[in-house]
Structure 1
């Protein structure tokens, strides 16, 4: 069995796979990760291989010490189901690698735009020859609201709202329009650019704010929360020894 772990800036996901079949998964805040991993190791004794994707400051590798497990840390030098065409692959985030792998496995030989709406928003492109070209990185929803408040003297800190009015007829409406409306126009602008150069493009939306943004965006594919786990498991299966 495989154990795959995705640790983001604030939340983690983990999944247990029997070959390609997901049999258990959980998502929680990062401060719960040690307890959840210890539970999984105890309850699923047939786990033999572990792949860890970590973009946080948490170090969980010590939890697997003295365990008869083969541990892999996700990096661009592993065998991947796609080819990287990126000027600085050593700086490519593990989350982007895992999502590209998931898109390759679930939608192979297709043009795929992968939008990950989390702490940051990444928009990446993978063509029908399974070549990853990179894309864009920008602040996520909460980061944009927080920066408007922290970097100015009088703008309030607001909770996100899908009620967008442009032109905004109040300061609050103008902020919502700038943050949520701005993100939607940003995403659809990049999608339009790719669609002008390629035919039959899948647009995949995932991440913590994907469900919220899906109310406004017209996206071809709304990926569930296990999407990235599928990608990690595919990478682990390619590298198991």
Structure 2
């Protein structure tokens, strides 16, 4: 079985895969990582052999050493073996999370044109064609980043933290106007990008994932495949490729 360690800026995710099947997923704080990993290693229901670490936060050398003392560890980097052809002109600047998402797309939808939309702190758009060639994509601000920007760069707009799923397009208070404005603009943006790709690729699979996927998925007019675990699947795929 494989252990996936995905460390974000504020929290971390642990996942256990049996081949391609997701068995367990946990979300926890950084300080709880080592104890939880030890519990998983000692759990008789799991026979962990390999692990991969992906971190968008600061390095965790102590945790890496701890893992390496128990399992065969693959540290995910830009040098890792991939299941697609990367044509990005600055590959060293391509986020590891985006690489993992494209790896998941290549593994889950082989020989397909796939647009992966990750709705997190930023919204990323990544495209891989039916020949397993990754072309690149786009990056825009996510929900919370847009709320913070309006508050930071104006004198009177409040800081909004609660997102809403709203079919209305008229806000009757400043708070509601901001919520609708951010939510609607993101939905229009996502649909606009999908339409652009569909104009060039009629046979297109669209995957929506990330922390805000559940809030947006029902309001996207185009057909999409919504999933919360696409990044973890991509990390598992990269672990499989690099542990053989």
Is TM (by shorter chain) over 0.5?
A: yes
1:181 has 2:163 as partner: no
In structure 1, the partner of 2:7 is: 7
In structure 2, the partner of 1:163 is: 166
**Post-superposition shift, 1:34?**
3.1
Q: Find the aligned partners of 1:101 and 1:166 in 2 and give their Cα distance.
A: 37
In structure 2, the partner of 1:83 is: 85
1:136 has 2:118 as partner: no
Q: Find the aligned partners of 2:64 and 2:70 in 1 and give their Cα distance.
A: 13
**Post-superposition shift, 1:58?**
5.2
**Post-superposition shift, 1:227?**
2.1
TM-score under structure 2 length normalisation: 0.89
Q: SS at the partner of 1:116?
A: strand
Find the partner of 1:192 among 192, 195, 200.
195
In structure 2, the partner of 1:108 is: 110
In structure 1, the partner of 2:129 is: 127
Q: Is the 8 A contact 2:205 2:225 kept in 1?
A: no
> CA RMSD for the aligned pairs?
2.0
Q: SS at the partner of 1:142?
A: helix
Alignment size in residue pairs: 240
CA separation of 1:223 and 1:216: change in aligned 2, threshold 3 A: closer
Q: Is the 8 A contact 2:213 2:228 kept in 1?
A: no
**Post-superposition shift, 1:139?**
1.5
Gaps of at least 5 residues in structure 1 are none
TM-score under structure 1 length normalisation: 0.90
CA separation of 1:149 and 1:35: change in aligned 2, threshold 3 A: farther
The 5 Å alignment of 1:1-40 reads 1-40=1-40
CA separation of 1:8 and 1:222: change in aligned 2, threshold 3 A: farther
Q: SS at the partner of 1:50?
A: strand
CA separation of 1:89 and 1:62: change in aligned 2, threshold 3 A: same
Runs of 4+ in 1 over 4 A off after TM superposition: none
Deviations 1:179-204 (A, max 9, x none): 11111111111111111111211110
Q: Find the aligned partners of 1:127 and 1:204 in 2 and give their Cα distance.
A: 14
Q: Find the aligned partners of 2:221 and 2:33 in 1 and give their Cα distance.
A: 34
1:98 has 2:107 as partner: no
Q: Is the 8 A contact 1:164 1:180 kept in 2?
A: no
Q: Find the aligned partners of 1:160 and 1:31 in 2 and give their Cα distance.
A: 28
**Segment of structure 1 superposing worse, 115-124 or 177-186:** 177-186
Q: Is the 8 A contact 1:110 1:128 kept in 2?
A: yes
**Post-superposition shift, 1:26?**
1.7
Q: Is the 8 A contact 1:13 1:27 kept in 2?
A: yes
In structure 1, the partner of 2:212 is: 209
Q: Is the 8 A contact 1:2 1:233 kept in 2?
A: yes
Q: Is the 8 A contact 2:116 2:126 kept in 1?
A: yes
Q: Find the aligned partners of 1:171 and 1:48 in 2 and give their Cα distance.
A: 53
**Segment of structure 1 superposing worse, 165-174 or 207-216:** 165-174
Gaps of at least 5 residues in structure 2 are none
CA separation of 1:2 and 1:131: change in aligned 2, threshold 3 A: same
**Segment of structure 1 superposing worse, 72-81 or 26-35:** 26-35
